[in-house]
Amino acid sequence: MRLPKDGFYAHQVMWDGWVDVEHIGLHILGHWNYAAGTVKPVYIVSSAPRVELKLNGHSLGTGTLSYGFLHTFDKVVYESGTLEAVGYDLAGKPIATAVLRTAGEPVALRLTAHTAPNGLRADGADLALVDVEVVDAKGNRCPTDHHFVSSTLTGPVEWRGGIAQGWSVPVPVNTASNDNKVLPTTPPTPLLYEDNYILAKKLPVENGMNRVILRSQPTAGAITLRAEADGLKAALITLNSLPVVVEDGLSHYDPAAALPVHLDRGPTPKTPSFKPSRTAIKIVSAAAGSNAEQTQLSMDDDDDSTSWVSKGKLEDAWIEYTFATSQMANQIDLKMGSFRQRHYPLRITIDGQTVWEGETPTTLGYCNLKLKPVRGQHLRISLVGDPHEGNEFGKIRELVSTNDPSKPQNQSLSISESEIYKTTE
């Protein structure tokens, strides 16, 4: 039932493959239909290391990369036309593209049906999903349209409807003459838990699209769906439900038999099926400026509920890890205390040489820090200033007691997990 939204395409890019990305992806978030003079950031999700943005063929430069996948272009001035993103590899070769086009005025409806690979079966339970879109003269979906669409259905089928967010009803206001009442010109305000249009034959599209469900009946035959909306060309689609043979009340029809099977990867290999891009460096011991007996809590990957926390004085807020042998460490993953809210100003050194210095970002989990590649055996993480709260994720309430000893205090460093890596040569 769910329509594919930006979140779907973003995850499709980020989760291609398992450990390593197998196919470089790219997706531009949002649409490209705005009022003249609009200035806004453009966000692109891509596994390419560098992304260029072009507006009507003119380059807007390279985006700022964050979180490993998010490429940001600040203060882009809207201009009707074509917005194109191009991803490049480290050698500068184009490896992925995506395009958004400004849609024109809405002129028509479009219906697109989705059924199982072997078609819609007349078993009284099979479903067809039908996308309902408002499109312009070139067939582009109109992403800012909210027309109400009426549906007419004929044939051996049951209407199961669609779903849409409820809207408040504008309250009539008096004109100056007080003779007539008119409606406010402000757009409707979304209301939660109002009428959600379930089973309604007339329902709105949202951002130019909705989806309705049709359920087959035990009788096979032609099914026709017609969609109409004020000011738009109507759309018509015809489906045929296929008969299902039933003998003595039983059917040998297996709906799953027609589903595609992918065996193109072959048998499971005896060796690892991926080449790791990095390997963890073994830590043989750890020391700290305070609470040294608890340093192991910063390395117990199987328990997020425990942390090493320094005692609250800046001079004691450090922890040092010792490797089995001298290593070229160039990455570290850290899960900090109160990681959703708190920034920690840190200095990271290897054998006394600074390899990273700055503030940790607030995150939804781990923060990955790229280290200056320096060979050594002792990596130290030191707090060099007061931690402070951020608001990147809004007002989030941490589920810890105020007297919880693991909750970081002012000038304390808190690490619940740390892992140090070297990239695979």
Task: List the 64-66 sheet strands across, edge first.
Answer: 26-28, 39-46, 70-77, 64-66
Q: What is the C-alpha separation between 70 and 75, in angstroms, rounded? A: 16
Select 6-101's CATH number: 2.60.40.10, 3.30.70.270, 2.40.30.10, 3.40.605.10. 2.60.40.10
CA neighbor of 142 nearest in space, from 256, 22, 216, 31: 31
Strand-pair partners of 370:
331
For the chain, the C-alpha Rg in angstroms (whole number) is: 29
Going by their DSSP bridges, the two strands 388-389 and 278-280 should be labelled as unpaired
User: For residue 302, what pLDDT is reported?
Assistant: 67
User: For residue 391, what pLDDT is reported?
Assistant: 64
* Alpha-carbon dihedral angle through residues 334, 339, 340, 346, given to the nearest 10 degrees: -80
User: For residue 252, what pLDDT is reported?
Assistant: 85
Query: Are the CB atoms for 359 and 347 separated by under 8 Å?
Result: no
User: For residue 191, what pLDDT is reported?
Assistant: 41
Task: Return the SS3 of 314.
Answer: helix
* Alpha-carbon dihedral angle through residues 63, 91, 45, 42, given to the nearest 10 degrees: 20
CATH number of 278-393+404-423: 2.60.120.260
201 contact partners, CB below 8 Å, separation of at least 6: 150, 151, 152, 153, 159, 161
Q: List, for residues 9-35, the tens digit of each pLDDT value.
A: 999 999 887 667 889 999 999 999 999
148 contact partners, CB below 8 Å, separation of at least 6: 202, 203, 204, 229, 230
Q: Note the maximum CA span of the chain.
A: 89
Q: List, for residues 259-295, the tens digit of each pLDDT value.
A: 888 777 677 777 776 678 889 999 999 999 999 999 9
CATH number of 108-168+190-243: 2.60.40.10
Q: State the amino acid at position 195 in one-letter form.
A: D
User: For residue 182, what pLDDT is reported?
Assistant: 42
Query: Are the CB atoms for 6 and 70 separated by under 8 Å?
Result: no
Same fold across 6-101 and 278-393+404-423: no
More confident residue, 391 or 150: 150
User: For residue 34, what pLDDT is reported?
Assistant: 97
Per-residue pLDDT averaged across 184-192, rounded? 45
Q: Report domain extents, the chain.
A: 6-101, 108-168+190-243, 278-393+404-423
Q: What is the C-alpha separation between 377 and 381, in angstroms, rounded? A: 14
Query: Are the CB atoms for 288 and 320 separated by under 8 Å?
Result: yes
91 contact partners, CB below 8 Å, separation of at least 6: none
301 contact partners, CB below 8 Å, separation of at least 6: 417, 419
